[in-house]
Amino acid sequence: MNRLPLLFIGILATFGSAWLGIVAYAYVNLGSLEPLVSEDTGGLLPPPLSGSAIAGQKVYAANGCLYCHSQQVRPASLSTDIAKGLGPRRTVARDYIHERTVFLGTMRTGPDLTNIGVRQPSVAWHHQHLFEPAQLSEGSIMPSYRYLYKVRKIQGQPSAEAIAVTGPHAPGPGYEVVPTQEAKDLVAYLISLKRNYPLPEAPEEAQ
Amino acid sequence: MSAATALAPHPSTRVEALSTQERYEIDRSLRGPLLLFFGASIFWLLIGSVLGTLAAFKMNYPGFLDADAWLTFGRMRPAHLNVVAYGWASTAGLGVAIWLMARLCRVPLRNPSLIISAGLIWNLGVLIGTLALLAGDSRSVEWLEFPGYVTPILFFAYSLVGVWAIVMFRFRKPGHVYVSQWYLLAAVLWFPWLYATANIMLIWQPVQGSAQAAVNWWYGHNALGLWFTPIGLASAYYFIPKVIGRPIHSYYLSILGFWSLALFYSWNGMHHLIGGPFPAWMISAGVVASIMMFIPVITVAINHHMTMRGNFAYLKWSPTLRFTVFGAMTYTLVSFQGSTMAIPSLNSLTHFTDYTIGHSHLGLYGFFTMMMFGAMYYIIPRLTGWEWPSASLIRWHFWLAAVGIILMVGTLTVGGLIQGFALRDVEVSFMSSLHLASPFRYVRSLTGILLTAAHVAFAVNFTLMLLRAGDQKKSPTLFSKPTEELASV
């Protein structure tokens, strides 16, 4: 092939077509969605994230939660995600507009977290689970995130923040486990994950 | 047709001949820069193997090395991916691309310090990026985990090589442009567009919402398809005919294969997001393009197979050819597999499971890494002026790598399918999907040890070569001495 202008134009044009179709299209059409106003409550859908939950996204990213946990519910026509209780409806583009980084995920080595805040709203449960996953969910292969916690000597009264921990890494008598700010933010983020509000573009499907 | 082709093959099916003096001058000019690229890539290969193997064992023993943040799975896994993608595969790929470019343009390297600087800056970027990931400075954007202060370093280093390649091409000696050069030019132009777009839209100024995921997988798939794959195919198109001393079977198949790859591969990325929060047409376009990939893949497979036909005996003794043909055959296999994985009904089974991990290793390792090994076995002795000191280390390298990757992909594939059936069965608990996949994950961890051992054999041979160990050989190091019958083929 010695018609070089053709070669260069072809190389750039083939690539450019997909760049326009995927990148530019997504940017224009999915990159500027607005939240809806709920007719029932007057609140925004999806609801905005709290400051702590936004900080928690960074902890989620820094510690690689995404590599085992997805955050997407596929439609009933394609999968059993809804029948298996991952959420009442499929997730759509508008569900993710508040996320600084979108954690759709590609693996389900661990359970999907699209609606973990609905399934497990307890702050204490999340702290205990992050500290020692296998204690609360037997057979789990999730690693311990106890490096997000501090073990310290109880000074006077035990701290109100202290979490009840059992298992091999439970502290000895006179010691307590308290979450770092990172752990608190991460749990705030996990609890905020509730994509069960109604959106007109994603009606709840019969299973 | 065969008689006519044999008599007068299209001139573009042959590499233009070089005199011994020209070859010597080109290889000598590339010596320092390319030994830097190859040495660094082997270093990262070893680091990447250890990170991957440790991460794999963590799935078997979650308590293994879980006390410190930087040693946990969530940090080692992205470190593994980025080290092998940017430290090993891209560094080795750039080295091979530079050598092929110089040889095919038939011009020695005039400014080695430029390429040496590029190599140093690139590897500095990979080092800082890897340490940043282990320290927890990651946005968890798959394939693009390196933080925003690292990507400009990599981009700058890449640009030095990219601009050099275009300039080199501009000042090539007259003659036909060989098929490998089309792929190299394409890769050189596609990568900066890809990398810059993805980094601007995901890391520096993240776009809103699920548009990120579309850009993310447009990048992730194209990094494989339009960066590694063209370099791998350029290498196969060069070394297969080179080792067996025959022209490429068909010029027209080469053209069809090249253009259909360029057109379809770039649309493939959306098949990673089937069922995700996107308009249906985007997903459909990704699925259709993935199925269309059968065209370039079958075309290239036929072209390579017909070139090899009657010459498979060379696999017995040529390390370069054995690794390259392994890579070329795996390319066909992994591409077929990839196309089928885009079919929505099958995708709903394999998505989110170890099956996908098996597929990506078959591509990046079985195809691309093996292809780079083949190329390096050919190129490095020509840089050092010293043959590979040990044939048995090459043999160990090949068999450990071949058996390791086949076993790894096999266990991940079977385990992944079982996991997929469990995940979609409404009656089966999530925890059962873990237990069912567990035995396969043990075997997978062991295959990580096999691959690491293969890489150690390679690294030892490379080091011995730099130290000029053993006696100087007069002919290339082969697996075994060709018989007379073979030598006369």
Residues B329-376: tens digit of each pLDDT: 999 999 999 999 999 999 999 999 999 999 999 999 999 999 999 999
| A51 and A107 together in one domain | yes
Q: What is the average per-residue pLDDT within B28-38?
A: 97
- Chain B contacts in chain A segment 161-200 (CB below 8 A): none
| A110 and A24 together in one domain | no
The Cα A16–Cα A53 span in angstroms is 38
- What local confidence, expressed as pLDDT, does residue A206 receive? 57
Distance, in angstroms, between A71 CA and closest chain B CA?
Answer: 10
| A43 and A1 together in one domain | no
Distance, in angstroms, between B220 CA and closest chain A CA?
Answer: 12
Across the interface, whether the CB atoms of A8 and B434 are under 8 A apart is answered no
Strands A149-153 and A175-179: antiparallel
- What local confidence, expressed as pLDDT, does residue A133 receive? 95
Flag whether B50 is in a domain: no
- What local confidence, expressed as pLDDT, does residue B474 receive? 82
- What local confidence, expressed as pLDDT, does residue A205 receive? 72
pLDDT, mean over chain A: 94
Share of chain B above pLDDT 90, in %: 90
Closest to A63 (Cβ–Cβ): which among B74, B269, B285? B74
Could you report the per-residue pLDDT of B1-22, keeping only the tens digit for each? 444 444 567 877 888 889 999 9
Across the interface, whether the CB atoms of B190 and A74 are under 8 A apart is answered no
The Cα B346–Cα B368 span in angstroms is 25
Chain A residue whose CA is closest to B184: A11
Whether A16 has a pLDDT exceeding 80, the answer reads yes
Residue type, B32: G
Across the interface, whether the CB atoms of A79 and B424 are under 8 A apart is answered yes
| A26 and A41 together in one domain | no
- Cβ–Cβ under 8 Å, residues B408 and B330: no
| A61 and A17 together in one domain | no
Q: What pTM value is reported for the model?
A: 0.95
The Cα B306–Cα B301 span in angstroms is 8
Strands A44-45 and A149-153: unpaired
- What local confidence, expressed as pLDDT, does residue B481 receive? 76
CATH number at residue A79: 1.10.760.10
The confidence band for B31, taking pLDDT boundaries of 50, 70 and 90, is: very high
Closest to A22 (Cβ–Cβ): which among B185, B214, B433? B214
Owning domain of residue B187: 177-310
Q: Chain A residues with CB inside 8 Å of B137's CB?
A: 62
- What local confidence, expressed as pLDDT, does residue B488 receive? 42
Share of chain B above pLDDT 70, in %: 97
Q: What is the average per-residue pLDDT within B391-410?
A: 98
Flag whether B219 is in a domain: yes
Q: What is the average per-residue pLDDT within B87-114?
A: 96
Chain B residue whose CA is closest to A98: B209
- What local confidence, expressed as pLDDT, does residue B486 receive? 52
Flag whether A77 is in a domain: yes
Q: What is the average per-residue pLDDT within B268-295?
A: 95
- What local confidence, expressed as pLDDT, does residue B53 receive? 98
Flag whether A12 is in a domain: yes
| Total Cβ atoms within 10 A of residue B2 | 8
If one counts the domains in chain A, the total is 2
Q: What is the average per-residue pLDDT within A200-207?
A: 79
Owning domain of residue A5: 1-32
Closest to A139 (Cβ–Cβ): which among B215, B426, B431? B431
Q: What would the two tokens of residue B429 be? A: 């608990």
The confidence band for A167, taking pLDDT boundaries of 50, 70 and 90, is: confident
SS3 B16: coil
If one counts the domains in chain B, the total is 1
Could you report the per-residue pLDDT of A64-80, keeping only the tens digit for each? 999 999 999 999 999 99
Of B274, B421, B283, nearest to A80 by C-alpha is B421
- How far, in whole angstroms, is CA B27 from its chain's centroid? 23
